[in-house]
Copies of this chain bind each other. A is one copy, B any other.
């Protein structure tokens, strides 16, 4: 098990910033990108239900169209990679069954042996606090994956920018999501900063730790 040092982690999180200007000529190496995709696949979620999908948009024309739905922000076209983070609109007992079937496939259990666990999850999905708004619950899970992706990118030395301020309704239409179970939540551009991005050297604007972290 090869871990990073505390100083290394802090250094990389300070190195990271919300990159506005990417170098369009510089590509993320395939093995690095594969690890970033794996950071999405392996992200934790409530009960492990993974109520998400991730669209990696490679088509240049589509990227240009999406930029127009994103306040014309250059990251959308100039970053080496663009990922649209999608959340499930609903969660049902069928999602629970699909997940438990996957558990059977991966771990060799039987659905019968998971019947009690199934009742717990289905009960929560149908009657727990999240039942009031499955889309909002699922969005939170997608943002776990977002946080993991941004952290993983920093650790790999890949620049990133998360964009919430895009026209998600128009994204859904353009990406053909309207009739699907998924909806656009946010977008991440990833690649390498252009020389001279003036935000790169700016000190981070964060509240002091003693205002943010309290002890009880």
Residues of chain A having any CB pair with chain B under 8 Å: 1-4, 6-16, 18, 31-32, 34-35, 37-44, 46, 48, 50, 52-59, 62, 99, 102-103, 106-107, 124, 128-129, 133, 136, 139-141, 143-152, 155-157, 162, 164-165, 168, 175, 202-207, 209, 212-216
Contacts and interface: CB of A to CB of B under 8 A. Distances in A.
- Interface SS majority for chain A: helix
Nearest to A176: B216
Contacts of A35: 6-7, 9-10
A202 B107 contact: yes
Number of chain copies forming the complex: 2
Nearest to A133: B136
B136 A143 contact: no
Contacts of A150: 44, 144, 147-148
Given A6-B31, A56-B213, A143-B147, A205 B13 contact: no
B9 A214 contact: no
Contacts of A56: 213-216
B1 A157 contact: yes
A11 B2 contact: yes
B203 A106 contact: yes
A1 B6 contact: no
